[in-house]
Amino acid sequence: MSHRLSTSLTLALATWSLAAFADANATGGTAAVPKKDSKATILVRVNDKVITRGDLDRYSDMMVFLLRNRRNGKLTAKEAEKFKKKNLQRFSEMMMSRLVISEGLASSNIVETAHAREMKERECLRNYAHKRQTMPQLEAALKKAGYLEDFKSGLEFDIKLQSFFETVRSNEYFASEADLPVVKANLTRYNEIAAATNALNLALARSVREKALAGEDFSKLADQYSQDSEKEPGGALGDCDETDFPEEATLWKTLSKAPEGFISEVVESDAGYVIYKVLRHNTAETSNTGTPSTSLARIYFRQAYLYPEQTDDELMADIAAEKRAKCMADVYKDFRSQVKVDYPDGHVKK
């Protein structure tokens, strides 16, 4: 029922969080996200510039839009809300990191390069566009949704930062063909270990299903074997409907029509291996959702991600992104010492 973000979008988010975590480790704190506040509440002030809760909400909404665009519209309201909730703190850290670096770049005499622009636009298409969407088409979609100025502001910042890397930083921050053999060997070894782990988990899932079919208590099996990091006691999922299975319509049809007590086959997906049990079917009057639903429990087994075959160009792009993340963390540390940061509680860190 959970679907991982695309690798490239996750990488794009992780790039910013690395810089923010560098600040957390160096100073003992990050820009917090208050639980109850107004749009005007200032989350952090860097020199004379601020980030408000309203700014954070708008940025979060834009990231949801970009995720939905990459999936070509296939993102439910429930998935969007889960994505925002999971990443809100990270978004706050990303925005603070960007503001700190922006202040540092403002005092640097950086000339934007054509290579930096081409590179960042290509990265935007790779991270946020769907299928063969061009940059003008992506910008048109953003304009229609009202996020074009925000997006272009971020893009111009990325281009300036990339130009800074190219003109100031050493070659250790840039990908080279010498990196390819090492990365390929590491990916091959990783995939071998991941495939072996998946085979073991699939065998375990089938074994646990046989125990359940033989009459062992499903809830106890879930408590003992389920590898779900967010599992409820007994593997309970609560009242579910078709919106909880947006990409698994056939599975939902089976579960919603199965008799109470039904135990599914081991369901294989990108997210893992899952055994479902139908606990009961609910009418709109008895359901917690106010609509007809089915109460389910599950036992979940992880499936390690297997990296797909990639071209040398694609691998070089991933290597470059990883090295930019390291460079950004280093640059952030340098600029962080040059600015004054106020947090909402009034504590000032220099």
Concatenating the DSSP letter of every residue in 152-209 gives HHHHHHHHHHHHHHHHHS-GGGS--TTHHHHHHHHHHHHHHHHHHHHHHHHHHHHHHH
The residue extents of the domains of the chain are 7-168+310-349, 181-302
* Residue 12 confidence (pLDDT) above 50: no
CA distances from residue 156 to 118, 142, 216, 348 in whole angstroms, order as listed: 12, 15, 60, 29
What stretches of 28-76 show up as alpha helix (H) in DSSP?
A: 53-70
- Name which CATH class applies to 7-168+310-349: mainly alpha
Q: What is the pLDDT of residue 46?
A: 86
- The pTM assigned to this predicted structure is 0.54
Q: What is the pLDDT of residue 24?
A: 36
* Residue 13 confidence (pLDDT) above 50: no
Mean pLDDT of the chain: 81
Average pLDDT over residues 132-147: 92
pLDDT of 118-134, one tens digit each?
888 888 888 888 878 89
